[in-house]
Amino acid sequence: MKSQPVFELDDIAVYFEKHAVSQRSLRHMLGTLTGRNGQEYFHALRDIRLTIGPGEHIGLIGRNGAGKSTLLRVLSRVITPREGHVYVRPDLHIVPLLELGIGFQPDLTGRENCFLAGLLMGYSESQIEARIDGIRTFSELGEYFDEPVKNYSSGMYARLAFALATDVEPEVLLIDEVFGVGDEFFMRKCVIRMQRLMESGRTTVLVSHNLDFLVMHCDRLIWLDQGRMMMDGEPAKVAAEYRGSGGQ
């Protein structure tokens, strides 16, 4: 089991209906059924074949809209692809930190949200209770920890999410843009914690525009463009090709 892949993606395709707002009505549905409306789609991912092994550190790179965040959502099982097959090893704690947020309920306090999200990640209340002081300290929220998260600034929100996701020491960590967390001082703390987690053998998949960090810390880089995998391989080589493409 230990050497079994953590993720296996086979011919994945994710696409969204265009003009989705008008498509949410009975009128549109009736039009579709009678053939009056044509279906138009925006492809976020297509033909993705990918295997990620235990302990691997993967960096996802690409321009805005390339499909990096969508791929992370597929890996975290938030999105079920329209086509293809996804295998996710069932015995691991997988913690997604998508767009620097976890499933936080805006009206609940930071503390309550830690329990809520922690339970969803598969931890018990006592396990979260044991870590709550560490999360509070790392997030530097002080008395705001017991305030509703809807009153947080975006930096505070991201700090709490990052503190929770990394303090519970998941076996698999999926992070969308780790370098967007808080101010410069807090970001340094995050980088150190990320390095420690990566060195301790956790599987990590990172989306970032900081190529230097990814080249230095990842085993593989995957370059996505317009939903397709352009390259998957040794970080320095993929980064050079990506840079050389000039974003084309």
Partner 1 sequence: MTTPMTTLQQTTRFTLFYATSQLRLRYRYTSLGFLWNFLEPAMFLVVLSVIFSVVNRMDISDYAVFLFAALVPWRYLEKIVNSSMESIVGGDWLIKRMSVSPMVLPMTRWIMASVEFVFSMVVVFLLFGFLKPTWTVHLVVLPLSVLPWSLFGLGLGLIAAVLFTFFRDVRPIVQMVLMLTFFSSPILFRPDIFGEGTLQSAIIQFHPMTYFSALFQKPVYFAQWPSPEDWVVSFLLSLLAMAAGITMMRRYSSRFYYYL
Which residues contact partner 1 by CB under 8 A? 16-17, 20, 24-27, 29, 73, 76-80, 90-91, 94, 96, 98-99, 101-108, 112, 115-117, 119-122, 124-125
Q: Which is nearer to partner 1, 77 or 237 (CB)?
A: 77
Q: Which is nearer to partner 1, 103 or 201 (CB)?
A: 103
CB of 87 to partner 1, least distance (A): 13
CB of 76 to partner 1, least distance (A): 6
Q: Which is nearer to partner 1, 127 or 211 (CB)?
A: 127
CB of 196 to partner 1, least distance (A): 24
CB of 243 to partner 1, least distance (A): 31
Which residue from 176, 214, 222, 181 is spatially nearest to 195, judged by alpha carbons? 214
CB of 8 to partner 1, least distance (A): 16
Q: Which is nearer to partner 1, 91 or 212 (CB)?
A: 91
Q: Which is nearer to partner 1, 10 or 112 (CB)?
A: 112
Do 2 and 83 form a contact (C-beta atoms < 8 A)? no
